[in-house]
Amino acid sequence: MKPSFPMTTQGMKPVQITDVTPYYVGSGLFVKIQTDQGVNGWGEADRAGAAGVVQHIINRIKEHVVGRDLFDAEPILTDMYYRSDDMGRGGLITSAISGIDMALWDARGKLLDVPVYKLLGGAFRKQIPLYGSFSRDDGENTPLDMARIAEEFVQLGYKAVKARMDIRQYDVDPDPDPTFPVVREIRQAIGYDFPLYVDANNGYSASRAIDVGKRLYEEFGVSVFEEPVGYTNYADLAEVSASLSGIQIAAGEHEYTRWQFRDLILQGQPDVVNPDLLRSGGLTEGKKIAAIVEAFDLPISVHSTRPTLGTAAHLHFTASILNADRPQEHSGPRKAPGLWDLFENRLDVKDGMLGVPELPGLGLVVNEQAMEQAARDR
- The domain spans of the chain are 7-113+368-377, 119-355
Architecture of domain 119-355: Alpha-Beta Barrel (3.20)
3-class SS of residue 111: helix
d(CA 110, CA 126): 19
Closest CA to 98 of 52, 53, 42: 42
Q: Is the C-alpha dihedral spanning 216, 174, 228, 93 positive or negative? A: positive
The H helix count followed by the E strand count for the chain is 12, 13
Closest CA to 102 of 80, 125, 127, 129: 80
User: How confident is the model over 56-67, as pLDDT tens digits?
Assistant: 899 999 999 999
Q: Is the C-alpha dihedral spanning 304, 306, 308, 313 positive or negative? A: negative
Domains 7-113+368-377 and 119-355 share a fold: no
3-class SS of residue 55: helix
Residues in the chain: 378
Q: Which CATH number fits domain 7-113+368-377: 3.30.390.10, 3.30.56.10, 3.30.1490.20, 3.40.50.10470?
A: 3.30.390.10
User: How confident is the model over 290-322, as pLDDT tens digits?
Assistant: 999 999 999 999 999 999 999 999 999 999 999
What b/e string do you get for 143-176 counting C-beta neighbours within 10 Å, with b at 16 or more?
beebbebbebbbebebbbbbbbbbbeeeebeeee
Q: Specify the pairing of strand 328-330 against strand 127-135.
A: parallel
In this prediction, residue 5 carries a pLDDT of 56
Work out the pLDDT band at 12, boundaries 50, 70, 90. Answer: confident
Residue 282 dihedral angles phi and psi, to the nearest 5°: 85, -165
In this prediction, residue 4 carries a pLDDT of 55
User: How confident is the model over 195-224, as pLDDT tens digits?
Assistant: 999 999 999 999 999 999 999 999 999 999
- Cis peptide bond prior to 176, omega within 30° of 0: yes
User: How confident is the model over 235-273, as pLDDT tens digits?
Assistant: 999 999 999 999 999 999 999 999 999 999 999 999 999
Mean of the per-residue pLDDT values for the chain?
Answer: 94
pTM score, whole prediction? 0.95
